[in-house]
Each structure stands twice: as C-alpha cells, then as structure tokens.
Structure 1
Amino acid sequence: MELEWRDLAFHREIGAVIEALDSAQFWTRLTRALERYVLFDNWVALRFAPGEAPLVCAESPTPDGTVDAMFQDYLAALYQLDPFYIAATDKPASGFVTLADVAPDNFSMTDYYQRYFRKNIVGDEVHFNYMIDARHTLAFSLGATQRYGDRDLAVLELCAPWVIALLRQRLPYETFGATQQQRGDAPAEATMDAATDTLATADTPAYAARFEQVASVAGRSPLTAREVEVAMLTLSGFSTRAIAEKLTISFETVRAHKKHIYTKLNVNSQSELFALFYEAGRQGG
C-alpha cells in the first residue's frame, strides 16, 4: 500500500485525537483533524435528552473570549425549536445528520431561523450523533457560514464511523453542563452516572411550562396540550399540512388550533407568537 504525505498527516492527527481521549484537549484535537479536509466556522458538543436543556461538553471559543449571549439564549429556551434537537429526542439514533435531513418544510421562514440560526450559525450545520441510550444523545455539531458542498458532506459522512466511535470512547471522561468559560482548563473526569443525577420527566416538555408562563401574563387563556404542540411545531417550521401529517389530524383541525392559539394569546402573527415564547424562555431559563 502506497501512502501520500496527506495520508500520513491524517494518521498523525487521528493518533493525536486518540491520545487525547481522556484529556481536556480531546475536542480541540478532533476539530483540528476534521478541519484539514472541511472548512467550518464553529463547533459545539452537547448532550441531548427529551424535556431537558442541552448539556454542554465543549464549544468553540468566541474571538474575544467572552460568553456567547446568543448561545445562552439557545440553552435557555431556543433549543426547543432546533431541528437537530427535535430529531435527536424524537427518534434518537447514531449517525451523521445534515440540516436537510431534519429541517421542517418551512424552517427558513421561521423567526428561529431568521433571528437565531442565521445570526449564530449563518449558513449550514451538520451533526455527528452517538445514541448513548434511549433518552440521551451525544451530539457533535459543526456550523459553517456557507452551505456545505457535496464534497464536504461526502467527506464528513466518510469520517462519520470513526468520529462516532471516538464519541463513544470519550463518554466516560466527559463533563456535562459547564460552559467552556466556566470550566477553564479543568480536566474532564466525570462519569456518565454523575452527569445523569438529575433528569427531567419526558412526560412534561419544557415548552409546556413556557406557554403556561406566557398564558399567565396579562390574564391570557391557557392553551390545551394539543394547542401547545401545534404552537411549537409552527414555531419550529412545520407548515399546516406538515403538522396535520405529523399529528395525524386534518388540515382544517390544525387551522382551527392555530386560530385558537392566536386568540387565546392575543397575537396576530407567528412573529408575535415567537416573541412571547422567546421572552418567556429568557425569563425562565
């Protein structure tokens, strides 16, 4: 077998990643190995679980070293509109996932996309997911200011088997929950058991509490469980027809639910509905 210098450099990088499995340098080494072949602008490693805010393993540093305020908004509430979070908690599975795989049909028209995604990630995003168990997924996200090309996606998918295998091997050494600014240079030495000491109940989604809080303000009428579901799917980017298919109800029933939601919450548009949800999330997060 003949190897080119690029192959040798790749093998050295992979060796460095494996060597760092039990150290605080693991995520940096992993991103360095991948950025030799695909350009991306930001990255974050998270643990997803139904009904819980994502827990942070590590994140790319901001240029000035300060806390990313928009990312804090994501962790407080906006994660509930994230198509990657929704997909990972709805049907958890290990694998390589692109934005096109999970984005709802009206995703680019949502306020979440316009006010958060475009400003924070800007162009595109992919995930390497490792399904820890039926409730938990370790997600490694790569965000780019431009759309990934076919070559980029092909290369990342080719890397997926060893990246996901490394995520599995990393798990026993991972510390969940603290942001990069909070952790500093502390070694990652917590176990999965310590990370799962407190679990929210999956039966009560966090967004239900958000809408309960919204309804309690200024004497608004509370939403039914089905109306909360429709509201969240609407904010996430599902069209009326897509909501009907997902919930196995009629198109007209979805329209009726939307009318009731707007009337009860005294809003006239999806943007106003998003503003209520966003503010409640910031206050409650």
Structure 2
Amino acid sequence: MELVKHSEHDEALANTIKALATVELPRQFSALVRGLAAFDNLIIIAYHGEHRPTVLYREFTDPVVYLPMDNQYLGGAYLLDPFYHEHLKGDVRGVRRLMDVAPDHFRRTHYYNNYYKQTTLLDEVAVFATITNNITLTACFGRDRSSGSSFGKREIQALRRHEMSLSALLETHWRDYRCQDAAGASSEPLEKRLREALEQEHGIRLSPRQAEVALFILRGHSSLAIGLHLEVSTQTVKVFRRQLYAKCNISSQAELFALLMPLFARLTAHG
C-alpha cells in the first residue's frame, strides 16, 4: 500500500515538473498536494512588499469561501493577516499552518470574527515561496464547511516532509513574476502612511508608537505580546492603548477596526 502511495506521488510530481512554465502548473500542483492532504479550496497569492496582493489562481468546492476576498481581503484586510506577516519577514519558504503563526489573541480580533468567519474556513495551511527580496508567493490550502473538519496530524506531517520541493516548484514556475502595479506605489512604512491619513481625514494625531500599538491590537497581539515586540512592559503598552483610544475617541477594538479599515482600503488602493 505504501509503495502504491509513493508511486502515485512520484507520478503526480513528474506531471507537475512537466507542467512548469505552462498554464497547467497550478492544476497539476493542486493534484500533487491533494495526494498529501485533502483540502476544500486553494488560492495562490503574490505579496509585493506592503502593497495590495495579486491573486494568481483559485479553486474551491464552495464559492462562499472567496466571496469576501476581492473587496475585503484585497481591499486592505490582508494587512491584518498572519500569512501576510510571514511574508514581511522575508526569504520565507516551506509550510506554515495559520494558527501556528497567528498572534496569541488572533481569534479575539474583529478581523477574525467579522472577516475570517465569513469565509467558513476552519483551517489553512500555506506553502511559501520567495521570488525576490520583495515578492512572496503563498499557495493556501483550506478546509471549510464543505468538509467540516481541520487538517489531520498526518496530513500536516506529509506536507512538511515535502515542503522544500513544493516551494521550489512555485519558485521555479513564477521565477520571472513581477508586479507592475506596485512599481509606482508609496514605499513609506504603513504606520507612517496611517498616521498621515488619520490626521488628514479625522484630525487625529498619533505618535509613531501609538500607531504601532493600534496595528498590533488589530492583528491580535495581547498586551503581553505587544510589550515583547516593542521591548516595553505590559503596563506601558496599556498606557499606549489608553492614549490611543482617548485620541481616537473610541473604547473598543471593534471601533478601532471600524475607524482604520476604510483608511487601509485607501492606503492600498494603488499598491
């Protein structure tokens, strides 16, 4: 039985290699991964710096999974996504499971409860590939309400056993990929652009540290985790949070999300 499985995987790998540099590659890559782990949906996304990502391929069992993608995710919600933050680390390859790289309070965020749950996704695993210093590809394999269950331990182990070859296939196929839209986009850090937009549109002047804390909160970091990132005490983080909420005249993370999300959409519109 194990020999048959190895033979099937070898054949799927051969078909994927033959499909490199052709339009068939995504479909063959999907079939290759399906032999390692059953999934309900697949989306291949190119991230370019902090600019708006590009969807290169998608397939699904239930179309509802990608309904919020074009307007909400690409419209700015990606800035709060754990996989996007893996990309920002640079030179990322291999397999990552969403909940393994998500911040400690990710499931409490407005992003998770108001965007992510709409997709009906229950679990996500991504193969990362680095194209240039600034461009990362992710092939995200999801389990949603179609199957109604998460990936099993053996499936995750199977993906991790083959993670470098999976990354190499994506890198080879898309080695010449470049994003035209990002060429004229602002190279200013998001935190700086956000501060400028808040002042212009709402007359709210945040310090760089307050803006940083706002982004950490929305991404799902606890005060303890924010303190570790910023190398300050938890008490200091709580002071920054109080100052932030007072300046914005809000009292909850939901209000912070409602204030900043429209700004994210505009900040990434040309990226």
Aligned residue for 1:167?
A: 170
1:211 and 1:276 map into 2 onto residues whose CA distance is 12
Superposed displacement of residue 101, structure 1: 3.0
Over residues 123-178 of structure 1, what are the superposed CA-to-partner deviations in whole Å (9 max), with x where a residue is unaligned? 11111112223322222111212322211110111121221110121014xxxxxx
- In the alignment, is the contact (CA less than 8 A) between 1:121 and 1:143 conserved in 2? no
Alignment partners' CA distance in 2, 1:5 and 1:102: 34
Residue 212 (structure 1) shift: 3.8
C-alpha distance in 1, partners of 2:99/2:12?
29
Q: Percent identity?
A: 26
SS in 2 for 1:76: coil
Per the TM alignment, residue 91 of structure 1 is displaced from its structure 2 partner at its CA by: 4.6
Counterpart Cα distance in 1 of 2:123 and 2:192: 29
Q: Return the alpha-carbon distance in structure 1 between the equivalents of residues 246 and 220 of structure 2.
A: 20
Spell out, residue by residue over 1:95-146, the C-alpha distance to the aligned partner (whole angstroms, 9 max, x if none): 2112233111101100111111222252111111122233222221112123
| CA displacement at 1:34 relative to structure 2 | 1.4
- 8 Å CA contact 2:51–2:182 kept in 1: the answer is no
| 51-60 or 234-243: bigger deviation | 51-60
Name 1:19's counterpart in structure 2. 18
Aligned to 1:122: 121
Distance 1:99 1:115, change over 3 A: same
1:6 is aligned to 2:5: yes
Does residue 1:278 correspond to 2:261, yes or no? yes
How many residues align structurally? 264
What corresponds to 1:192 in structure 2? Answer: 177
Q: 1:245 aligns with which of 228, 233, 239?
A: 228
2:238 is the alignment partner of 1:255: yes
**Structural RMSD (CA):** 2.7
Alpha carbons of structure 1 residues 77 and 64: separation in structure 2 relative to 1, 3 Å: closer
Aligned to 1:43: 42
* More displaced 10-residue stretch of structure 1: 15-24 or 5-14: 5-14
Q: Does 1:147 align with 2:132?
A: no
Q: In the alignment, which residue of structure 1 is the partner of 2:109?
A: 110
Tell me the CA shift for residue 280 of structure 1. 2.9
Whether 2:85 is the aligned partner of 1:100: answer no
Q: 1:127 to 1:199 in 2, by over 3 A?
A: farther
Query: Which stretch shows the higher mean deviation, 275-284 or 16-25?
Result: 275-284
Q: Give me the whole-angstrom Cα distance separating, in 2, the residues matched to 1:89 and 1:74.
A: 17
2:32 aligned residue: 33
State whether residues 95 and 163 of structure 2, in contact with CA within 8 Å, keep that contact through their aligned partners in structure 1.
yes
Letter in 2 for 1:28: R
Q: Contact between 1:240 and 1:251, CA under 8 Å: does it hold in 2?
A: yes
Alpha-carbon offset, residue 11 of structure 1: 2.3
Q: 1:14 and 1:121, CA in 2 relative to 1: closer, same or farther beyond 3 A?
A: farther
Deviation, 1:194, is: 6.4
Give TM-score scaled by structure 2 length.
Answer: 0.86
* Local SS of the residue matching 1:5: helix
Which runs of 5 or more structure 2 residues have no equivalent in the other structure? none
Unaligned residue ranges in structure 1 (runs of 5+): 173-190
CA distance in 1, matches of 2:61, 2:5: 30
Secondary structure of 1:54's partner? Answer: strand
Contact 1:62–1:68, Cα closer than 8 Å, also in 2: no
Deviates more, 1:227-236 or 1:66-75: 66-75
| Alpha carbons 1:79, 1:85 under 8 Å: kept | yes
User: By how many angstroms is 1:229 displaced?
Assistant: 0.9
Indicate the larger mover: 26-35 or 7-16.
7-16
Alignment correspondent of 2:53? 54
CA contact (8 A) 1:132 1:138 kept: yes
Query: Any idea what the Cα deviations from partners look like across 1:238-282, whole Å, max 9, x if unmatched?
Result: 001110110112222211211121112111100111112223334
